[in-house]
Amino acid sequence: MSELLTLIAAGLEVGSLYALMALGLVLIYRTQSIVNFAHGELLMAGAFVGYVAFQPMSWPFPVALVLAVLSSTLLGVAVERVVIRPLVNHPHATLAMATVGVSVAVRGAARLPFGSDILTFPPIISAAPVFIGSLVISAQTVLTIVLAVSISVAVFLLIWKTRLGREIRATQQNYLGAKVVGINTGKIYSSSWAVASAIGGAAGVLAAPLTLLYPDMGATFLLKGFAAAVLGGFGNPLGAIVGGIAIGILEKLVGAYFSTYLIEISPYVIIIVVVFVRPQGLFGRGQIVRV
């Protein structure tokens, strides 16, 4: 029993990161109908910047987190302005190709300084583990979950409670309508990418102690983010969160009771199964099947 609970706690920890990933993907998708294949690189950039600040520079963790978030945000906004904006009226296929190009280019750029070795990120805090009954959870796990939840809540408040959030939703629902009421849609595009990239950068720093740091690390998270978003019905932010957590827990259970090899393919299998069995996802919305 306590083993199961421990697995679930570990699943929550990674799952909350997949959820952050999916949340960013969905945000961009809803604003511009773009699937951002470069989203993993936003996470990777955040992780590396956080690493440099936290490790060689030995700055406090909050500083590292803020720097990582800022640099991912900057990168994301730049990608939107330079690559996406000129193509925004083009078909999905064109945009997908462009973001794939960005993804590989950013990876290449990261390989220059960080390519030679695989880095490890030490635990952020060394506090004593938390005991809940017979269950022992490391402080690191607790911190990750708490931060991920806080970030998600902040994003939801932003989307549902602020004027910017309302303008983002308006633009998502009706682009022309947004223009008609005087919303600066260009600003909304940048803001959506900024928020999504900030989430990605934060996820990167939180993911860093859990995984190794290497230029290709974003790919895994991208696919898990896709799987989470697809499971939640691509386009639904709440679905993305639930999907991410479900996949995190599922993969820990599969890893413990079946085989760790299967962890790696779980996102692919989930994407393919969901698309075939329940393409509208758990929280059905979004246009999956051609009309």
Partner 1 sequence: MRPAIVIFLLLLLLFAPFVLDAYTQYLVNLALSYSLVCLGLNLLLGYAGQFSFANAAFMGIGAYTYALLTSRLGVPSLVALPAAGMAATALGMVVAGPALRLSTVYLAMTSLAFAELVQWTFIHWSAVTLGTDGVRVRWPAVGSYVAQGDKNTFYVVLVVVAISYWSALRIVRSKLGRAFLAIRQGETLARCSGIDVERTKTIAYAISAFYAGIGGALFALTIRFIVPDGFGLVQLVLQFSMVLIGGLGSLLGGLVGSLLLTVMPELLRNVEAYQEMLYGVLLVLFVIFMPRGIVGLLGRLGLVPQEILVRGAVAYFDARRRKHSGL
Partner 2 sequence: MLSLSRVVIGYGQLEVVHGVDLKVGKGELVAVLGPNGAGKSTLLNAIAGIIRIRSGAISLDDKSIGRLPSHLTCRAGVSLVPQGRELFLEMTVRENLELGVPASARRAGPERIEDVLRLFPRLRERIVQPAGGLSGGERAMLAIGRALVAHPSVLLLDEPTAGLAPKIVDHVRETLMALKAGGQTTILVEQNVNMALAVADSVYLMNSGKIARKEDVRESKDLFESFIG
Q: Which of 93, 180, 181, 277: binder of partner 1 (CB under 8 A)?
A: 93
Per the structure block, which two tokens stand in for 175?
Answer: 């682009």
Task: Answer yes or no: are the C-beta atoms of 253 and 3 closer than 8 Å.
Answer: no
Length of the chain: 291
Examine residue 83 and tell whether it contacts partner 1 (CB under 8 A).
yes
Residue 153 CB, nearest distance to partner 2 (Å)? 22
Decide if residue 167 touches partner 2 (CB under 8 A): yes
Q: Residue 67 CA to chain centroid, in angstroms? A: 17
Contact positions with partner 1 (CB under 8 A) in 213-232: 219, 223, 226-227, 230
- Candidates 89, 182, 290, 291: give the one binding partner 2 (CB under 8 A): 182
Residue 129 interface partner, choices partner 1, partner 2, none, CB cut-off 5-8 Å depending on type: none
The residue range among 44-52, 73-81, 86-94, 176-184 that interacts with partner 2, by the rule CB under 8 A, is: 176-184
Taking CB under 8 A as the criterion, the residue among 5, 66, 88, 158 binding partner 1 is: 88
Integer Cα distance of 33 and 242 in angstroms: 21
Contacts with partner 2: how many residues (CB under 8 A)?
A: 17
Binding at 128: pick from partner 2, partner 1, none (beta carbon under 5-8 Å per type)? none
Binding window for partner 1 (CB under 8 A); candidates: 45-53, 149-157, 206-214, 271-279: 271-279
Count of residues near partner 1 by CB under 8 A: 54
Contacts of 215 (CB under 8 A, 6+ apart): 44, 107, 108, 110, 111, 114, 115
Rounded to whole angstroms, the Cα distance separating 87 from 239 reads 28
What span, in angstroms and rounded, lies between the C-alpha atoms of 254 and 247?
Answer: 10
Contacts of residue 154, defined as CB under 8 A and 6 or more positions apart, other chains included, come to none
Tell the residue number behind the tokens 């308006």, with chain if given.
Answer: 170
Nearest to 72 by CA among 59, 87, 53: 53
- Contact between 170 and partner 2 by CB under 8 A: the answer reads yes
Return the one option of partner 2, partner 1, none that residue 126 interacts with (CB less than 5 to 8 A, by type). none
Instruction: Dig out the tokens for 248 from the structure.
Output: 């995190």
Quote the least distance from Cβ 120 to partner 2, whole Å.
45
How far CA 283 is from CA of 37, 127, 197, 209, 240, in Å, comes to 23, 38, 24, 31, 9
Binding site for partner 1 (CB under 8 A): 29, 33, 35, 37, 83, 86-94, 96-98, 100-109, 111-112, 115, 175-176, 179, 219, 223, 226-227, 230, 234, 261, 264-265, 267-269, 271-272, 275-276, 279, 287-290
Which residues contact partner 2 (rule: CB under 8 A)?
Answer: 163, 166-167, 169-170, 173-174, 176-177, 179-186
